[in-house]
Amino acid sequence: FQVNLWISLALTLVLTAVLFSLAGLLNAVFAKTFDDISLIPTFVLTPLTYLGGVFYSLTLLPPFWQGLSHLNPIVYMISGFRYGFLGINDVPLATTFGVLVVFIVAFYLLCWYLIQRGRGLRS
């Protein structure tokens, strides 16, 4: 077991943790009951994970599906981790970090806006 690039691995880990934390907050804001919390992980996160290149390289997909896969934030997380561990990536490292930061900013602004409006805080 060997890590290719520690800084890439650490940065991907931090960005992924922040993004999933914000996604969890967003999920909590919209959930009305405890059972509603499981809807997003089941019907959104699981398919995105399987379609995110976890088990295959994006280069194996036809061009249309490659382009569509680049809309999936999981692709960039997987690419960052894969480069950190193996030195292989489907997406350039700068693009990986840039897209993750864009998703983090978008989720943060959405969470901030919803909490400022009181969504999910007042019954």
Q: Does the residue 62 lie in any domain?
A: yes
Domain of residue 90 covers 6-117
Residue 13 lies in a domain: yes
pLDDT tens, residue by residue, 48-74: 999 999 999 999 999 999 999 999 999
In a domain? residue 122: no
What pLDDT sits at residue 7? 95
- With respect to residue 123, please indicate whether it lies within any of the assigned structural domains: no
Q: Please write down the long-range contacts of 29-35, taking CB distance under 8 Å and 24 or more positions apart.
A: 29/111, 29/114, 29/115, 29/119, 29/120, 30/119, 30/120, 31/120
Calpha distance 103→100 (Å, rounded): 5
Number of domains comprising the chain: 1
Residue 52 lies in a domain: yes
pTM of the model: 0.90
Secondary structure E strands in 11-95:
none
Angle between helices 93-117 and 73-86 (to 10 degrees): 140
